Structure formats: C-alpha cells, structure tokens
Structure 1
Amino acid sequence: MKRRTLVGGVAAAAAAAAPGAAAPRRIGMSDVDRLQGRFAEIIASDHRHGGQLNIERRAATLADEALNLQNAGSATQRVRSNLYASAAAFRSSAMWAAIDGRRYEDAKAHMREAQALAEMSGDQAIKFRIWSHTGTMYRHLGRPADAFAANNVARNLHITRRDPLFASLGLARQAAIHGAAHDRTGTHRAFEQAQDAMLRADPGEYRPVWMLAFYGQAELDSLALSACLALGDYPTAEFHAHRCLSTLRPHMVRSRAITTTRLAHAQLSQGAADAATATAMKVPADAATQHARVARMLQEFGAALRATAPGSPTVQTWTEHTAIWRASA
C-alpha cells in the first residue's frame, strides 16, 4: 500500500513537471492595480450620473470578480488583503449607488457584504467609507439614532486620528445628522470642528481615489447646506449652496445638480419664487428625470411653489419647463 502511494506521488510530480503542464496561476499586485483602474471608472460614473442601477450592478459584478481571483491561483497575504479591499470597495460603491437611487433594501444587502469584506481586508479607509455611507443611508431614512451609531463607528477608526481629512469628513457627516435631528447647537459645533480638521489636513498625503475624487470644501458646504435646510435656516443654507457651487470641480455633475436643487428650495423658503424657479430650471434634464433624489426634491419644489404662488406666471413657467424635461427623458 505504501509502495503504491509512493509511486502515485512520484507519477503526479512527474506529470506536473512535464513540458506543457499548466502551472498554477500567480495572482499579483498587477491584478490588484487592474481592479483599481476599474474602481476609478466606477467612481467617475458615480460623480457624473449617480444613483443609477447600471452603476450598482457593474460595481457588484466587479466585487465578485475581485473575490473570484482569490480562488484563481496562488497569492501572497498582501495581495489577498488587497483583493478583499478591492471587493469591499466595489461593494461599497454598489451600496452608495443604491442609496443615491433610494433603493434602500438593496443598499442594506450591499452594506452587509461590504462590511464583511472590509473586515477580511483589514483596510481602515474602506471600513471608514462603508460605515460613513451607512450613517448617510440611515440619515436619508429618517433614523438619526442609527445614523449617529454608524457614523461613530467610522469616526472611531484610527485612520481619523492619523489623517485629519478623514476626521473632517466624519465630523461633517455627523453635523448633517445633527441637522436632520434638529439639533442646532450640535450641528454648528460639528461643522466648526470639521472645518478646522480640514484646514489641518496635509494635501500631499496619500489617500484612496474615492476620497480624493469628492471630499473638499465643496462637499463640506454641501453637507452644511443639507443640515441648514433641515434646521430651517434658509439664509445660511443659501450661503453654503453658493459657496459649494463656486468650488465644485467640473467632474462633480451629480453634486452640482443636487446642490442647485437645494439652493432652489432655500430661495423659495425665503419667498423668492422667481429666483428659486430660475435656479431649479438650471438642473440638467437627465438629472431631473433620472436621478432619484434630484427628481424627488424637484417634485417637492414644484409642490411648494404651487402652494406659495398658486396660479401665478411663475408656476406656469415651471409647469411648462417640467413638461419639456419629461418629454426629453
């Protein structure tokens, strides 16, 4: 029996060494780099379109592709950790697209998968992204207690102590949650701390592509705008909207549409129906009809406009303009 086992082992070794035998594939950092390039494409699509189902599905497919590489060959522990981090990053983008598209049950499913993958990767930055997005999801769902709890997980990661920019983002989103909870004092304090942390951040420090692509003064003002609208502080909301729009980078098309819509709300709430309508009409047709959050905010704007100025020429102008949007969709 031992002889047969030995012979079988020698034969198997010989077959493996024979010319033309397929060697096990070696998975390396070049595979990770390729995935990172695809991740950058997902980020770019999100900033241009936001919330689209095709972005969510593409990100989820790429997450599976990253996971499949784990079983496609041999790899070092460093490579395997990076593959898990890549899978978590893609899954977090699928989660964000679902949040942005108001598909919250799908977002929760992506969240659970992303959190598990992030734990296996050990990557602090992607853990921060996932928990911070979770806080945002619960804020949109009107669950501030859960939003605070999730955002605090992100804020308590050691990356926020190492990098003030991560600390700033965590504080800015905390302030937005305070706004949704109608806590004026907490909102102002958190935004002051977020601004201070941003000013302390080293612009030359390495950060992941998703952070570099969106977080800066414009996003801080966008979150302040959201909080001030929730608090009913419309003049301050308008101030932050204008400052956000003046510093938004060209690729942030989705963010510009959201900010423009919020600015219209702030203006209308101050009684400036004509100015508000002119602002709302600047939102591109594709965002107005295809981005779930923008479309809903514009519907709410139209209802508020009709309640504020029923039967006025401004309402008629808005009605005609939205008909053009629908026709072009």
Structure 2
Amino acid sequence: MDTTRNTVLEAWMDEHGHSSNSLAEAVNAAVGDLTGRVGGLDGSSVRDWKSGRVRWPKSATRAALEKITGLPATALGFVPRGRASSYPAPSQEDPVNRRRFITAGTAFAAVTTTPAFASPRRIGTTDVERLQQRFTEIIASDHRHGGQLGIEHKAAALADEVLALQNSGSASQRVRAHLYGCAAAFRSSAMWAAIDGRRYHDAIGHMREAQALAELAADPAIKFRIWSHAGTLYRHMGRPTEAIAANDVARNLSLTRRDPMFASLGHARQAASYGLIGDARAVRRALGSAQDALARADRSLARPAWMAAACDGAELESLALAAHLSLGNFEQAEAHAHHSLALLRPRMQRDRAINTARLAHAQLGQGAVEPAIATAMLLPAEAITCHPRVTGMIRDFDTKLHIAAPCSSLTHVWDQHVRGNEARPSMASGWTTP
C-alpha cells in the first residue's frame, strides 16, 4: 500500500494553526452541520490522513473538510481511489513556499478534477441532466452484463467526479442537492455491481459512501435503492436478520406510502429474505402485499431507470422465484421463473441469465432432469463465464444433477455438453465437471 505522506494537508494545518485534534473536532462539527449527526473522528484519524495511511476519506468527511477549508479534497493532497498522486511534495523549510504550493494546488485541482461536462463558472440543471444520462448508461450496462468490475469502477469514478464538480463553481442549493443525489446514485450502482459480482467487502465500502451521500442529497428514491440493496447484500452474505432489518428501513421510508410501486418492490425483496430463513408464511404474506401494491401503482408515472423491472412486474416475479427456491417450493418457483422470463425486457440479459439458471434448478428440484438440462443448456457462454452468480448456480446445478441422476444417459449428455464447452477457452472457467 502506498503511504506517501500528505504534506499538502500538513502545510494547510500549519498555516491555519490546526493540530490533529483540533482539525478532527472541526470536521466532526461540520459533519454534524451537513448530516445532522456529529462525526466520530479523533486526532488519530487526522494523523492517518497526514501519514498517507488514509488517502481518500469518506464522502461526508470530504464534504466537511471542503466546507472548513474552502478547497477541494484533491487540493488538500487527498487522492481518489485508483489514482496516483499528482502533487509534488512541497518544501518543508519555507512557509512562503508552502503557501504558494497550496494556491497552485487549488488551481491545478480546478482544472484536472472537473469533468468535461462541468460548467467552469456556474453549475446548473444542464450539468445535472448530463449526469443523469451517464447514470442511465450505467444502468443499461448493468442490465446487459451485471456484476462486472469495470461497471463498479466506472460508477465509483463517476461518483468522485460529481463530488469534484461540486467544488468547480457556484450552484444553487437545489442543484447541489441534485449533485449529491447523482453521486449517491453512482455509488449505489458501484455497490450493486460489487454485490452482483460477489465482491461483498467492496460492496460494504460502497454502501457506506452511498448512505452518507444520500443523506446529503435528502433524496428518498436513492435512499430506498441503497437500503434495499443493503438487504440484498446481506441476503447474499447469508445474514438474513440484517437483510430483513435493512429492507425494513427501505420499506418504512415515506416514499413507499406515496408510491405503491416502491412499496411493491420493498415487499418483494423482503419475501426473498424471509425465504432464506424458511418462513413460508411470511413469504406468502410479503408476496401478497407486493402484488396488492403493484396493482395499486400508477405505471404511467415517471420513475428512476433502475425501477424498470419493478414497473414491469418482472422483478416481483424474480424475487418470488428466489423466495420459493429457498423454501424448496420448486413447482411454484418454476411458475414464477416462466412469468419473469416472459416479462423481462430483451435488454435485461443479466436478469434473464440468472432466472434461466434458477429455472433449471426449479425443474431439477422436481425431478424433471431432461427439461432441467435443456434449460441449463440455453445459457449463453458469456453469462456463464462472466457473471459470478450464474457461474455459481451452474456449478451447483452440475453437482445436484450428478447426485440426483449419476448414471442417467441424460447426465451423460450434459457431461458431453460441458466437455464441449471446456474445449473452448472462453468457457473453461465457468464449469465444474465431476
């Protein structure tokens, strides 16, 4: 790990008479002003910044620092994740040189950290609209590919760019709130890509950043997305109690009372968590509530791009499929799988691959070996090799098939299919053979 000392921050602290403890206290107070909850930093936190052990503080902390200093985080010597430092070390001997360096650093950051779409003088609704278009592009990539490290990194980089844009010019309070909402949206997409790719430690880091940004934005829709994704994260990590608690936070937002579409999605995601703990009654109740809310929802209303599958009813069917698979209700799971596949839009290739793999499991669970194998063979090579969740489900399918019908001629057909796919290098990493 690069622990190059942050001499820029040290120079600013010397110039303004701050010790590590006094700066921590000032940042804590500023975090409280921004979020309504006083920060929990101490002198050791600031010393970690100065030593370079922490090169890019959390979003709320960066916003507080920028409020205190009037400088972008990059002009204070902090380096966004994945980037090398562009700042030379200032002189430790001459305070005048340090002042000149800080001034030059501020100008440098204004040029290098401002995205191409930012206005150099006034940040306005046009900038927000361009960011929202970029977010739509991230959602489209997720629908096609899902779980890819490249999507995660791109979304995280865009979140950092939005925060740099905040410091590149003046803006109204309304526009600044929208910008924080955009940053939270990008960070939540990075979180989702990490969840989908089974990079759970990274997902937790993105989640915390996204939650802080969502508080700054006061955007209920993005809060709902982050907390319901948190429920999904904990469900995939095998922590159902925390999954249910996170889903409850999402379901209790006032947005779900104003718009039944969000309520429907919240109930459906809770059903999947109840399935994980084997509570069939709670699953039925949650799915019934989801169906009722969906029936009440006005589908003509404009909603975020990430709600598309929920608005179509496809996500409700997908989550019902997941819940019934967890319960071992394979016949009901198969029915929901067919419904979800019929409702999914063509561009949602990731969801189609996942639900096709789930359908194969549901059929195998009923002892229908031939249809199960035929379904599994429908999966494209790209989905199996590139999507960790699909890869895992097909490996699990292979294991269960050889337990259920080890000597069947149909299993032999499957084995030949697997070997044929392994002969192609692009497929080799996606399959497990006996």
Does residue 1:235 correspond to 2:325, yes or no?
no
Inter-CA distance 85–308: structure 2 relative to 1 (3 Å threshold): same
Q: For residue 248 of structure 1, report the CA deviation from its aligned partner.
A: 1.1
For 1:253 and 1:100, the matched residues in 2 are separated by 14
Residue in structure 1 matched with residue 405 of structure 2 by the alignment: 309
Q: Is the 8 A contact 1:24 1:74 kept in 2?
A: no
Residue in structure 2 matched with residue 117 of structure 1 by the alignment: 213
Does residue 1:132 correspond to 2:228, yes or no?
yes
Does residue 1:27 correspond to 2:123, yes or no?
yes
Q: State the Cα deviation string for residues 160-214 of structure 1 (Å, max 9, x = none).
A: 0000000000000011111111000000011001000001001122211211355
User: Which amino acid letter does the alignment assign opposite residue 270 of structure 2?
Assistant: Q
Q: Which runs of 5+ in 2 are unaligned?
A: 1-118, 427-434
Does residue 1:205 correspond to 2:301, yes or no?
yes
303-312 vs 65-74, which moves further: 303-312
> Which residue of 360, 367, 370 maps to 1:274?
370
Q: For residue 268 of structure 1, report the CA deviation from its aligned partner.
A: 0.5
1:243-282 alignment to 2 at 5 Å?
243-282=339-378
89-98 vs 240-249, which moves further: 240-249
| Percent of residue pairs identical | 62
User: Which amino acid letter does the alignment assign opposite residue 186 of structure 2?
Assistant: F
> Which residue of 257, 276, 291 maps to 1:195?
291
Residue in structure 1 matched with residue 418 of structure 2 by the alignment: 322
Q: Which has the higher helix share?
A: 1
User: Which amino acid letter does the alignment assign opposite residue 93 of structure 1?
Assistant: S
Q: Is the 8 A contact 1:180 1:230 kept in 2?
A: yes
Inter-CA distance 321–214: structure 2 relative to 1 (3 Å threshold): farther
Q: State the Cα deviation string for residues 8-46 of structure 1 (Å, max 9, x = none).
A: xxxxxxxxxxxxxxx961111111111111101100000
Q: For residue 325 of structure 1, report the CA deviation from its aligned partner.
A: 3.7
What is the total number of aligned residue pairs between the two structures?
A: 307
Q: For residue 245 of structure 1, report the CA deviation from its aligned partner.
A: 1.0
Aligned with 1:102: secondary structure?
A: coil
For 1:216 and 1:150, the matched residues in 2 are separated by 24
Aligned with 1:283: secondary structure?
A: coil
1:291-306 alignment to 2 at 5 Å?
291-306=387-402
For 1:96 and 1:286, the matched residues in 2 are separated by 20
1:169-188 alignment to 2 at 5 Å?
169-188=265-284
Moved over 3 A (4+): 323-326
Inter-CA distance 213–65: structure 2 relative to 1 (3 Å threshold): farther
Inter-CA distance 197–280: structure 2 relative to 1 (3 Å threshold): same
User: Which amino acid letter does the alignment assign opposite residue 319 of structure 1?
Assistant: D
Aligned with 2:123: secondary structure?
A: coil
Q: Is the 8 A contact 2:299 2:311 kept in 1?
A: no
Q: For residue 82 of structure 1, report the CA deviation from its aligned partner.
A: 0.5
Q: State the Cα deviation string for residues 52-97 of structure 1 (Å, max 9, x = none).
A: 0000000001111111111001000011001000000000000000
Does residue 1:167 correspond to 2:263, yes or no?
yes
Q: Is the 8 A contact 1:169 1:215 kept in 2?
A: no
User: Which amino acid letter does the alignment assign opposite residue 160 of structure 2?
Assistant: D
Aligned with 1:282: secondary structure?
A: coil
Residue in structure 2 matched with residue 224 of structure 1 by the alignment: 320
Q: Is the 8 A contact 1:265 1:276 kept in 2?
A: yes
User: Which amino acid letter does the alignment assign opposite residue 226 of structure 1?
Assistant: A
Q: For residue 319 of structure 1, report the CA deviation from its aligned partner.
A: 2.2
For 2:316 and 2:204, the matched residues in 1 are separated by 25
For 1:97 and 1:125, the matched residues in 2 are separated by 19
Q: For residue 309 of structure 1, report the CA deviation from its aligned partner.
A: 1.1
Q: For residue 215 of structure 1, report the CA deviation from its aligned partner.
A: 4.2
* Structure with more contact order per residue of length (Cα contacts < 8 Å, sep ≥ 6): 1
Residue in structure 1 matched with residue 251 of structure 2 by the alignment: 155
Aligned with 1:25: secondary structure?
A: coil
Q: Is the 8 A contact 1:91 1:113 kept in 2?
A: yes
Residue in structure 1 matched with residue 188 of structure 2 by the alignment: 92
TM-score (norm 2): 0.69
For 1:53 and 1:241, the matched residues in 2 are separated by 27
User: Which amino acid letter does the alignment assign opposite residue 179 of structure 2?
Assistant: L
User: Which amino acid letter does the alignment assign opposite residue 244 of structure 1?
Assistant: S
Inter-CA distance 183–249: structure 2 relative to 1 (3 Å threshold): same
Inter-CA distance 185–214: structure 2 relative to 1 (3 Å threshold): closer
Inter-CA distance 244–146: structure 2 relative to 1 (3 Å threshold): same
For 1:49 and 1:301, the matched residues in 2 are separated by 21
For 2:311 and 2:187, the matched residues in 1 are separated by 20
Q: Is the 8 A contact 1:285 1:328 kept in 2?
A: no
Residue in structure 2 matched with residue 13 of structure 1 by the alignment: none
For 1:187 and 1:286, the matched residues in 2 are separated by 33
For 1:39 and 1:55, the matched residues in 2 are separated by 11
User: Which amino acid letter does the alignment assign opposite residue 273 of structure 1?
Assistant: V
